[in-house]
Amino acid sequence: MAQKKITLPLTDAKVQDLKAGDRVLLSGDVYAARDAAHKRLLERMENDEELPIQLEGEVVYYVGPTPAKPGQIIGSAGPTTSGRVDKYTPALLSRGLKGMIGKGYRNEEVKTAIQKYKAVYFAAIGGSGALLSKKILSETIVAYEDLGPEAVRRLTINDFPVTVINDCYGNDWYEQAAEVYR
Amino acid sequence: MKNIHVDTITENVAAMCQSASIDLGDDMIQAFQSSLQKEKSDIGQDVITQLLDNAEIAQKERMPMCQDTGMAVFFIEMGYDCKITCGDLYDAINKGVSQGYGDGYLRQSIVRDPLDRKNTGDNTPAITYVEMVEGDHLKIRFTAKGGGAENMSRLQMLKPSDGLEGIEDFVVESVRLAGPNACPPVIVGVGIGGSFEKSAYIAKKSLLRSVGERHVEERIARLEEKWTEKCNQLGIGPQGMGGTTTALDVKIEVQPCHIAAMPVAVNIQCHANRHKEVIL
């Protein structure tokens, strides 16, 4: 099956080239962040405080890995359910976030914001954390270390396999794909 | 009377926590392989192939198959002629979970307080249910329940007049709503009857049966097959990417209930269907 290769960070041009259903191999840096980290980022934004990470052109991966064993770069590291951070996502997109990797549905507000800010939502295979850990070349904690598995990490990924679910044109691959086999 | 030392329980629990996270059961591997033959979508087949690869990597490298190593849930069967010595059953289990998750580099996913949300740091407390039975054995059945699928579970107090059709609609609708969030292909645990909380208990307990293992009662077994088929007509497919494999199995348990009531619980289990059991 044809796969597009994309090097991060994302730009408007790269995002506009992606369509729902495209299978993509991502390489470059992403931020790992889950529920608790999103909550803290939003609290800082609401208080007009500086964020511990820059969001312009960045991609967030919704992941809380298992601890690395000695000698490992990272433990098991598959996507978590994206819908849990829907509440926070439009604000992050308004600050320049360009992409998200997770699994599962996004709400209407997020889909609208994806179009408005020219962003993209990718899904990775949920529950394939051992396989996906092989696509991660480095891991550094950059903020909120006290959150443990929910700390913000900088990950370098290589040929990380994802599928475009929501593109900047308003398409939703989950809806389109299910229609075919219903 | 058989005596079982608490340390034996702790050791076994620790080992079960680790092996369940790493070694996907043969029933699941077989279910993946047979669904690969039947799946109509290319992308769906590709997803299942990657899940098989994932299981192999996990086993070979002793790495958890999924980063969500779950909340530890135990279903204990305790014989009337079995005595636990030198301590408490619940403490012994919690100690085993703490050791198993710590030594096994498994993710700590439990918060002490649902409002403060501070991580307990050792994946305890476990959820432990005990049933008393005939005999002198202690059967420990463990499942590591991940949050993604658990979050998509539902419970409804239906009316008796809703009948079998109402229950079927509720089950299939629950799987539809769960969609890609619950990491399909899923296994669907259904609890019918009992009370509000008992329906949820039996729904979860039904998931301990192996995939493909039918209910002993023929009429329930037939429903399990029919509803599995119905779920697979939703089009959701592996990971919601479209296809004919949405549910690998539906498990049903039934219980007596009140003349006014028809509680139905649907407990969804993702494809990382981790369960282990030991008899002491």
- B227 has a pLDDT exceeding 90: yes
Residues B191, B141 within the same domain: no
Give the tens place of pLDDT for each residue, A111-137: 999 999 999 999 999 999 999 999 999
Question: What separation in angstroms does the CA of B43 have from each of A17, A181, B121, B245?
Answer: 21, 12, 38, 11
Taking the CB of residue B242, how many other CB atoms lie within 10 A of it? 27
Residues B198, B130 within the same domain: no
Band of pLDDT at residue A1, cut at 50, 70 and 90: low
Q: Which of B145, B177, B212 is the last residue of a domain?
A: B145
> A82: buried, middle or exposed (CB in 10 Å: 19+, 13-18, 0-12)?
buried
Closest in B65, B117, B240 to A36, CB measured: B117
Instruction: Select the residue from A24, A128, A166 to test the B interface by mutation, using most B Cβ atoms within 10 A.
Output: A128
Q: Could you give the percent of chain A with pLDDT greater than 70?
A: 99
User: Can you tell me the mean pLDDT for B222-231?
Assistant: 98
Residues B254, B225 within the same domain: yes
Band of pLDDT at residue B243, cut at 50, 70 and 90: very high
**Residue B105 and residue A67: Cβ atoms within 8 Å?**
yes
Question: What separation in angstroms does the CA of A26 have from each of A140, A158, B23, B71, B238?
Answer: 18, 6, 29, 31, 21
User: Per the domain annotation, does B44 fall within a domain?
Assistant: no
pLDDT (0 to 100) of residue A26: 98
Residues B141, B154 within the same domain: no
Closest in B53, B146, B237 to A181, CB measured: B237
**Residue A180 and residue B67: Cβ atoms within 8 Å?**
no
pLDDT (0 to 100) of residue B74: 98
Q: How much of chain B is helix, strand and coil, in % rounded to 5?
A: 45, 25, 30
Band of pLDDT at residue A2, cut at 50, 70 and 90: confident
Residue B3 CB contacts under 8 Å (≥ 6 apart), including other chains: B83, B84, B85
pLDDT (0 to 100) of residue A120: 98
Residues B164, B215 within the same domain: yes
Q: Which of B112, B145, B178 is the last residue of a domain?
A: B145
Residue B113 CB contacts under 8 Å (≥ 6 apart), including other chains: none
Taking the CB of residue B160, how many other CB atoms lie within 10 A of it? 12
User: Per the domain annotation, does B136 fall within a domain?
Assistant: yes
User: Per the domain annotation, does B253 fall within a domain?
Assistant: yes
User: Per the domain annotation, does B25 fall within a domain?
Assistant: no
B79 token code pair: 């014989």
Chain A residue at shortest CA distance from B52: A128
pLDDT (0 to 100) of residue B49: 97
Instruction: Select the residue from B239, B245, B246 to test the A interface by mutation, using most A Cβ atoms within 10 A.
Output: B239
User: Which of A5, A54, A66 is closest to A30 using CA atoms?
Assistant: A54
**Residue A181 and residue B58: Cβ atoms within 8 Å?**
no
Residues B100, B75 within the same domain: yes
User: Per the domain annotation, does B49 fall within a domain?
Assistant: no
- A100 has a pLDDT exceeding 70: yes
Pairing of strands B138-145, B71-79: antiparallel
User: Can you tell me the mean pLDDT for B190-196?
Assistant: 98
Find chain B residues with C-beta within 8 A of A69's C-beta.
63, 105
Give the tens place of pLDDT for each residue, B60-70: 999 999 999 99
Q: Which of B102, B117, B145 is the last residue of a domain?
A: B145
**Residue A104 and residue B105: Cβ atoms within 8 Å?**
no
Instruction: Select the residue from A82, A125, A172 to test the B interface by mutation, using most B Cβ atoms within 10 A.
Output: A125
- What is the residue-averaged pLDDT of chain B? 97
A32: helix, strand or coil: strand
Q: Could you give the percent of chain B with pLDDT greater than 90?
A: 100
User: Per the domain annotation, does B57 fall within a domain?
Assistant: no
Q: Could you give the percent of chain A with pLDDT greater than 90?
A: 96
pLDDT (0 to 100) of residue A149: 87
Give the tens place of pLDDT for each residue, B105-149: 999 999 999 999 999 999 999 999 999 999 999 999 999 999 999
Residue B8 CB contacts under 8 Å (≥ 6 apart), including other chains: B280
Domains with residue ranges and CATH for chain A: 3-179 (3.20.130.10)
A8 token code pair: 């991060």
Residues B140, B9 within the same domain: yes
Q: How far is A31 from chain B (nearest CA, A)?
A: 17
Band of pLDDT at residue A64, cut at 50, 70 and 90: very high
Q: How many structural domains does chain B have?
A: 2
Residue B163 CB contacts under 8 Å (≥ 6 apart), including other chains: none
Size of interface A-B (CB pairs under 8 A): 167
Q: Does B270 touch chain A (CB under 8 A)?
A: yes
User: Which ipTM score applies to this complex?
Assistant: 0.94
**Do residues A85 and A62 make contact, with C-beta atoms less than 8 angstroms apart?**
yes
User: Which of B208, B17, B6 is closest to B97 using CA atoms?
Assistant: B17
Q: Does B231 touch chain A (CB under 8 A)?
A: no
Strand partners, A101: A61, A122
User: Per the domain annotation, does B141 fall within a domain?
Assistant: yes
Per-residue buried b or exposed e for B75-93, using 16+ beta carbons within 10 Å of the residue's own CB: bbbbbeebebeeeebeebb
Q: Please list the active-site residues of A.
A: 38
Angle at A153 between CA A150 and CA A154, to 5 degrees: 160
State which residues form the domain around B88: 2-20+65-145
pLDDT (0 to 100) of residue B72: 98
pTM, two decimal places: 0.96
Q: How far is A167 from chain B (nearest CA, A)?
A: 15
